[in-house]
Amino acid sequence: MDRIRIVGGNRLSGTIPISGAKNAALPLMIASLLTRETLSLENVPHLADVEQLIRILGNHGVDYSVNGRRPSQGKSYSRTVNFTATNIVDTTAPYDLVSKMRASFWVIGPLLARMGEAKVSLPGGCAIGTRPVDLFIEGLQALGADINVEAGYVLAKSTKGLRGNRYRFPKISVGATHVLMMAATLARGETVLENAACEPEIVNLAECLNAMGAKISGAGTPTITIEGVDELHGAKVRVIPDRIETGTYAMAVAMTGGDVLLEGARADLLENALDTIARTGAEITVTNEGIRVYRNGAGIEPVDVTTGPYPGFPTDLQAQFMGLMTMAKGRSHITETIFENRFMHVQELARLGAHISLSGQTAIVEGVTKLKGAPVMATDLRASVSLVIAGLAAEGETIVNRVYHLDRGFERLEEKLSNCGAVIERISE
């Protein structure tokens, strides 16, 4: 099993290219199930989750090619992948595939809309809370689906086709917003989704669906309106740059000091997070090439933060920010409001010398003057990279185990950081 070895203490300097967003690429790939024609996605990152979803879509009969062929992964940081679902050969998404990645459950929307039926295993993924699928089921039922849960599978049917309706999410859900928006594109009549998620990835999906012939308005606001159409066609769409990767590397620079251009990053996708990082003492400058992050030798200022739905501070940056705050000049409070079990990285940061205590859903971080390298274990995708951030500033050697979590969401992280002066390498056994 691969590990990451880090020797801390080096400032970061140079350029880091920002990859396409995993959280945008996955729903865009799933949207290919809605049409017989080819959906071409530009700027698709090389990630374990992307490869897993390609296998899941292949199980349904989706053909794919990379720049018109099926080569091994190249050296570029992005690629164009073409998905063609001319014939759906299977409407079942089995446990052995869906259990490995939660987002694969989202195929239920397009399969139900196009084929009138779907049998999808209850999902798996990171162990950061229960994240139930009740909102998906309630929303699809509002569109006329007949749904039962049996033996670990969600069985959905709409023999007469889905029909438009008004549905208000009891709480904001990015995944459920993705699914209902996709399903409603082929429903009869108008669908109005209220209290919908506003994340940039929702907007990217709406842009994709509209390019395919859908009629969607209001994406990026709490009210999304979808006028159903008879069919969708092919399109070419670009995956937006990864705002979580952008924030992660910005925090790495704030942690170590240095001067790095995050090439291709879009500041408008994570304004709250960038403002928060700036309050810690880093200088954030938006340029034509991306975002420049700079911090001199001055200390890190403590900042309190509370996660929230977009445009709030992203829960997917909470662990990384905690890593940054471990060396702040004072006490900070980090409150998690999205997931109930997302502090598993606390005990691993403590192995590096961090002083963190928990009070309910708030972590109280007492900044220390130094961290010391140690072997640590990644517990989920974002927790794994918080350990990398801490390791970059720790004295001595840090070994991060279980980096398969890291590979799910960060494209060639060790290569990008080492190109900017970090002493970091992958150890394969």
Binding residues: 22-23, 102, 131-135, 316, 338
Q: Taking a C-beta distance cutoff of 8 angstroms, is the pair 237, 37 a contact?
A: no
d(CA 5, CA 1): 13
Binding residues for UDP-N-acetyl-alpha-D-glucosamine are 102, 131-135, 316, 338
Tell me the helix, strand and coil percentages in the chain, rounded to 5: 35, 30, 40
Residues in the chain: 429
> 258-263 and 283-286 as β-strands: parallel, antiparallel, unpaired?
unpaired
Find the catalytic residue in 126, 198, 208, 420. 126
Q: What is the 3-state secondary structure (H, E, C) of 4-20?
A: EEEECCCCEEEEEECCE
Task: Tell whether the torsion through CA atoms of 218, 223, 227 and 231 is positive or negative.
Answer: positive
Q: Establish whether 208 is a catalytic residue.
A: no
**In sequence order, what E strands does 91-245 have?**
92-93, 117-121, 146-150, 153-157, 166-168, 190-194, 215-217, 224-227, 235-238
Beta bridge partners of 171: none
Q: Taking a C-beta distance cutoff of 8 angstroms, is the pair 111, 118 a contact?
A: yes
The SS3 of residue 376 is: strand
Binding residues for phosphoenolpyruvate are 22-23
> 92-93 and 117-121 as β-strands: parallel, antiparallel, unpaired?
parallel
Closest CA to 183 of 161, 201, 155: 161
Distances (CA, A) of 387 to 34, 189, 205, 351, 369: 39, 49, 31, 10, 17
Question: CA-based diameter of the chain, in Å?
Answer: 66
What are 196's two structure tokens? 């919908």
Catalytic residues: 126
